[in-house]
């Protein structure tokens, strides 16, 4: 598994569904550079079980992300048309109707590959035939990307394990706090709690007060 933290987020330009219904070509994170943070998350499949709970959870907290000047973008290896159909199905029937943030269609699997969250692997047999080992879908990857396009946090879960959206917000808050105040955030830090100066004196003062 590649560690992308501290590196430029891999570029992509692919089809996506935006505003809950509209298919657009050449969707890219470049539109956010210099302006917004991005939480980019991958999920395995449309029309499944854990995936809609996560997709709705991000939608429910979308205002929290937006208040922090952060865009939320989802990606799976489904087609844009499948995303669009999924968005037409009500939440009561297992769909994701009401989700408004972009859902990218990684149908050629290059985005999942470049972010190193693609579960399966391609290979060739002795006769030169293309084969695949495992299902070619994305693990539950999540990447926090800063305004300059640098990855500052990544998390990858196996298929059965849903992510904690509040934790994604906490990590975003920690990064913003560090950028704004130059302080580092200790274990279990949350917005509004004390952080500490990145010096020996600062750490000692923090530990002494806790």
Active site residues: 51
Joined together, the tokens standing for residue 160 give: 């059965």
Closest CA to 1 of 109, 118, 146: 118
Spatial CA neighbour of 42 closest among 22, 30, 58, 23 = 58
Distances (CA, A) of 104 to 43, 110, 134, 135: 11, 12, 22, 19
How far apart CA 53 and CA 152 sit, in angstroms, is 25
Q: How far apart are CA 195 and CA 210, in angstroms?
A: 11
């Amino acid at each position: 598994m590649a560690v992308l933290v501290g590196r430029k987020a891999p570029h992509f330009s692919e089809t996506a569904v935006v505003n809950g219904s509209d298919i657009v070509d050449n969707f890219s994170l470049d539109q956010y550079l210099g302006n917004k943070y991005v939480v980019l998350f991958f999920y395995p499949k449309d029309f499944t079980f854990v995936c809609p709970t996560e997709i709705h959870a991000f939608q429910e907290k979308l205002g929290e992300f937006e208040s922090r000047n952060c865009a939320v973008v989802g990606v799976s290896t489904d087609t844009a048309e499948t995303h669009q159909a999924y968005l037409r199905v009500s939440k009561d029937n297992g769909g994701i109707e009401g989700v408004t943030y972009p859902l990218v269609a990684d149908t050629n699997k290059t985005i999942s590959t470049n972010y190193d969250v693609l579960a399966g692997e391609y290979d060739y047999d002795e006769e030169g035939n293309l084969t695949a080992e495992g299902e070619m879908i994305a693990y539950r990857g999540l990447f926090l990307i800063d305004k300059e396009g640098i990855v500052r946090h990544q998390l990858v879960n196996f298929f059965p394990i849903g992510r904690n959206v509040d934790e994604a917000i906490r990590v975003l808050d920690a990064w913003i706090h560090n950028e704004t105040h130059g302080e580092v955030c200790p274990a279990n830090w949350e917005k509004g709690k004390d952080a500490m100066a990145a010096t020996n004196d600062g750490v000692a003062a923090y530990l002494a007060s806790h």
